[in-house]
Chains A and B, each alone.
Chain A
Amino acid sequence: DGGITQSPKYLFRKEGQNVTLSCEQNLNHDAMYWYRQDPGQGLRLIYYSQIVNDFQKGDIAEGYSVSREKKESFPLTVTSAQKNPTAFYLCASSTTGDNSPLHFGNGTRLTVT
């Protein structure tokens, strides 16, 4: 079955360490997205990519970095510059039609202590 795989589901890191969250899709979608979810704040866009080797900052990109070397993969690195990294991170993908819904992975819960 086609879908989006995020790994790991739970991730624990010490403050000051960079950490990379994996997102892989086999839906043949061109566009991929990273959202951060915090209780009561909905989903906030971190980065998105419409095509391989290109990506754009979202609303809260500071302290994060991404790469898009392959169509299937869009890893997110949470750097030590991110002041409050503990959150639930969701990856999504879509076709590039302008009414295309997003397909979501099951998320990675990152805890930084």
Chain B
Amino acid sequence: AQSVTQLGSHVSVSEGALVLLRCNYSSSVPPYLFWYVQYPNQGLQLLLKYTTGATLVKGINGFEAEFKKSETSFHLTKPSAHMSDAAEYFCAVSARQAGTALIFGKGTTLSVSS
């Protein structure tokens, strides 16, 4: 079975500071991993995904994430936060079976102050 744990329900940073959102996963098979962003009262938008190959994955809006198998982690980072990055972020894992649903973490709310 798959599961996802996001460490920290709230993260606050200053504009221009490093953003680090933590995600650890549990999976009985090599996982596919995803990060999504959600703005208030909207659906989720895909930021990036890891399937196979290069373990450092670049996504939209300057975000990237690194798959570390030894640490079962897939942390999301951005070198310099912008006010528009304030949102809720979800990490998700796939069971690697076609058409099956993603398993989501509980989310981390990112606040950015000026």
Q: Once the chains are docked, how many angstroms separate the CA of A102 from the CA of B102?
A: 8
Report if B45 contacts A (CB, 8 A): yes
Residues of A58-101 contacting chain B, CB below 8 A = 58, 88, 90, 92, 94, 96-101
Report if B101 contacts A (CB, 8 A): yes
Q: List A contacts of B34 (CB < 8 A).
A: 101
Report whether A90 and B43 are in contact in the complex, using a CB–CB cutoff of 8 Å: yes
Report whether B43 and A43 are in contact in the complex, using a CB–CB cutoff of 8 Å: no
Report if A50 contacts B (CB, 8 A): yes
Q: Once the chains are docked, how many angstroms separate the CA of A106 from the CA of B43?
A: 4
Q: List A contacts of B94 (CB < 8 A).
A: 98-99
- Size range of the chain A interface in the assembly: 20 to 34
Chain B 90-110 per-residue mask, 1 if CB under 8 angstroms from chain A, else 0: 100010111111111111000
Residues of B63-114 contacting chain A, CB below 8 A = 90, 94, 96-107
Question: Closest Cβ of chain B: how far from A32's Cβ, in Å?
Answer: 10
Report whether A40 and B104 are in contact in the complex, using a CB–CB cutoff of 8 Å: no
Question: Closest Cβ of chain A: how far from B93's Cβ, in Å?
Answer: 12
Chain A positions within 8 Å of B, measured between CB atoms, are: 4, 6, 9, 30-31, 33, 35, 40-45, 48, 50-51, 58, 88, 90, 92, 94, 96-107, 109
